[in-house]
Chain A
Amino acid sequence: MLWFVLGILVTLGGLALFGWLRRNDLRPKWYAWVLFAIGLLNALFIIEASVGSLREDEAGVIAKLVLVGVIVLGLTWGAAWRLTTGRAPSRSAGA
């Protein structure tokens, strides 16, 4: 069930991302895609581990998992963004 819901979310997110890239005429390099994919897989892994930790009665573990996950996500997606747009994510936030 978890993977089914995540699958739908990832598909919808992917479609939105492709649309946005086309509208802004952006063509990410292959290595930006690799970084993006690593970030995405990391996010899925952290979600799976957090749900599992809840079942294991290890709620305390979740906060730390999310912390590590957010750092990894920030690094990989931040780098992918920068490689694609040539700008740092923070400066482009309102663009």
Chain B
Amino acid sequence: MKKDELQSSGPSQGVSRRTFVKGTLALTALSAAAAAGCAPGSVASAGNTSRFGKPSWVKRVDKYPVEIDDSALTRYDSGNGGFSTAARAWGPDLTAELSRIQQSVTLEGVRNNLPGNDLKARALQHGAACLMYGQPGRLLYSWSAVRPPTDYGVGPWQGSPEEAAQLVKAAALFYGAGSVGIARLDRRWIYSRDGGKDLVFEDVPEPVIEDTRKVIPEKVQYQISLAIPQSFELIALAPTAMSSAATGFGYSLMAFVAGLLAEFIRQLGYVAIPCGNDTGLSVPMAIDAGLGEVGRTGRLITPEWGPNVRLAKVLTDLPMAVDKPIVFGVMDFCRKCKKCAEHCPGDALSLETEPSWEITGVWNQPGKKVWQEDAAKCLKAWRELGTGCSVCVRVCPYTKRAETMLHDVVKGTISTMPTLSSFIAKADDWFGYGVRKDPDAWWRRLGRSFGRDGF
């Protein structure tokens, strides 16, 4: 493990005098512009922008700027993902050794009361994740109505696609989504096999899960992507069990929001399939739905909460007006930033400036030019840490609570003046952002309810 071991204080400091002077000048111009309300990023509120539309520095585009080679890209079998295949890369000896390490660091944390990994931290983690254990197709993730829709004698809800989109978005935000977007369902992002079953599209009236197949009706042509913000205060404690509580709570909320939204759509008289991590690739689906851009980590960066969100989706046949993908300078900023890769305890992320077609293993789906992740290395770090890590989320300059317009101004500057990106990435370190906080202090402060401290 390098730069970001458990005991380390976080990102390195160090900005040259030249950078500092350049930055002071930039900040002068920015602060003047911001305070005058004419900054590139100025919006009505520094808080949640999703309810009021996206900030002005976010551009809608017809075509998302990631290169895709359709001759190489085929629907992906989720059984090739890192969770199933990393052990093959490690070999039996290392696999056994990593299990032993994981168990011993977990026990050590609890028995020695290590901050962030003690008994109360583990309890918080497991409590938070309680709802996530609803398996695909079951409980909140049920593929059929939880309460059979009442027959009012009026048939399914009727309205324009715009009205349908408005209803769905209002309901999704009401149920707890941070932001919501709609797109035509691109079948390239639907797994070919998932949970050991073939995923097929057939001309059937209702979705059904059989012994060997999951059948999605042909008429299901829309997807609703949901971003669920995670607790910033807990992610700031990564890579401990406390940050795993943030992700666990995000998983519980995914089931809650997607499950409730699917039931809402069914009660309108349409088919709805709520999905967590199952069924399809959440990142490209969320990109299609205009929720954010992909970053160096291969994860979605949203304008509002950066990468500090979990993603869920609902597939449906309800015809809705669709959203366009958005850009706000993320890929260009990632070329210069590299903080996630530099701090990754597992060396799992690419340090190359440019994205690449070259995959690192069977856990990457070929045919897209992105920064490819090494899932086996990431999971190895998880075993060694005894937690779900999240350091790459913690240190990302986009991971900011929206309590000051400073962040809005900075994100607006990244989007509109990319020449300042290198400076902004260094300044983020210099200001001390992304440093791991004290886990025990979290218990003393009564944080905002429902884990929504950045919301």
A interface residues, Cβ below 8 angstroms from B: 37-38, 41-42, 44-46, 48-49, 51-53, 55-58, 60-61, 64-65, 68-69, 71-72, 75-76
Least Cβ–Cβ distance between B21 and chain A, in angstroms: 10
Residues of B within 8 A of A37 (CB): 32
Residues of A within 8 A of B437 (CB): 57
Q: Write the chain A residue with the least CB distance to B409.
A: A45
B431 A57 Cβ-Cβ under 8 A:
no
B403 A55 Cβ-Cβ under 8 A:
yes
Residues of A within 8 A of B32 (CB): 37-38, 41-42, 45
**Count of inter-chain pairs, beta carbons less than 8 A:** 73
Least Cβ–Cβ distance between A31 and chain B, in angstroms: 14
Least Cβ–Cβ distance between B177 and chain A, in angstroms: 23
B interface residues, Cβ below 8 angstroms from A: 23-24, 27-28, 31-32, 34-36, 46, 232-233, 236, 400-401, 403-406, 430-433, 435, 437, 445
Known: A61-B431, A64-B432. A51 touches B31 (CB 8 A): no
Partner pick for A45 among B23, B35, B233, B433, CB 8 A cutoff:
B35
Residues of A within 8 A of B403 (CB): 52-53, 55-56
**Bound-state Cα–Cα, A46 to B27, Å:** 10
Partner pick for B432 among A41, A42, A60, A76, CB 8 A cutoff:
A60
Q: Write the chain A residue with the least CB distance to B447.
A: A57
**Bound-state Cα–Cα, A44 to B46, Å:** 15
B430 A46 Cβ-Cβ under 8 A:
no
Partner pick for A41 among B36, B232, B400, B435, CB 8 A cutoff:
B36
Known: A61-B431, A64-B431, A72-B27. A56 touches B35 (CB 8 A): no
Residues of B within 8 A of A45 (CB): 31-32, 34-35, 405-406
Least Cβ–Cβ distance between B14 and chain A, in angstroms: 13
A61 B28 Cβ-Cβ under 8 A:
no
Q: Write the chain B residue with the least CB distance to A53.
A: B404
B433 A58 Cβ-Cβ under 8 A:
yes
Least Cβ–Cβ distance between A71 and chain B, in angstroms: 6
B406 A52 Cβ-Cβ under 8 A:
yes
Residues of A within 8 A of B31 (CB): 41-42, 45-46, 69, 72
Candidate in B232, B233, B404, B445 with the most chain A CB atoms within 10 angstroms: B404
**Bound-state Cα–Cα, A45 to B31, Å:** 6
Residues of B within 8 A of A56 (CB): 232, 400-401, 403-404
B35 A60 Cβ-Cβ under 8 A:
no
B405 A76 Cβ-Cβ under 8 A:
no
Residues of A within 8 A of B406 (CB): 45, 48-49, 52-53, 65
What are 16 inter-chain pairs, A to B, with CB distance below 8 A?
A42-B31, A45-B32, A45-B34, A45-B406, A48-B404, A52-B404, A55-B401, A57-B437, A58-B432, A58-B433, A60-B432, A61-B433, A64-B432, A65-B431, A68-B23, A68-B24
A42 B401 Cβ-Cβ under 8 A:
no
Residues of B within 8 A of A46 (CB): 31
Least Cβ–Cβ distance between A30 and chain B, in angstroms: 16
Least Cβ–Cβ distance between B245 and chain A, in angstroms: 17
Q: Write the chain A residue with the least CB distance to B30.
A: A45
Residues of B within 8 A of A76 (CB): 28
**Bound-state Cα–Cα, A37 to B35, Å:** 10
Residues of A within 8 A of B28 (CB): 38, 42, 72, 75-76
Residues of B within 8 A of A71 (CB): 24
Candidate in A38, A46, A55, A64 with the most chain B CB atoms within 10 angstroms: A38
Q: Write the chain A residue with the least CB distance to B430.
A: A64
Residues of A within 8 A of B36 (CB): 41
Least Cβ–Cβ distance between A43 and chain B, in angstroms: 9
**Bound-state Cα–Cα, A46 to B432, Å:** 16
Least Cβ–Cβ distance between B395 and chain A, in angstroms: 14
B404 A42 Cβ-Cβ under 8 A:
no
B35 A61 Cβ-Cβ under 8 A:
no
Residues of A within 8 A of B432 (CB): 58, 60-61, 64
Least Cβ–Cβ distance between A64 and chain B, in angstroms: 5
Knowing that A52-B403, A53-B404, A57-B437 are A-B contacts, what are 19 other residue pairs whose CB atoms are under 8 Å apart, sorted by A's residue number? Answer: A38-B32, A41-B34, A42-B31, A42-B35, A45-B31, A49-B405, A49-B406, A51-B404, A55-B403, A56-B404, A57-B233, A57-B445, A58-B433, A61-B431, A61-B432, A61-B433, A64-B430, A64-B432, A68-B24
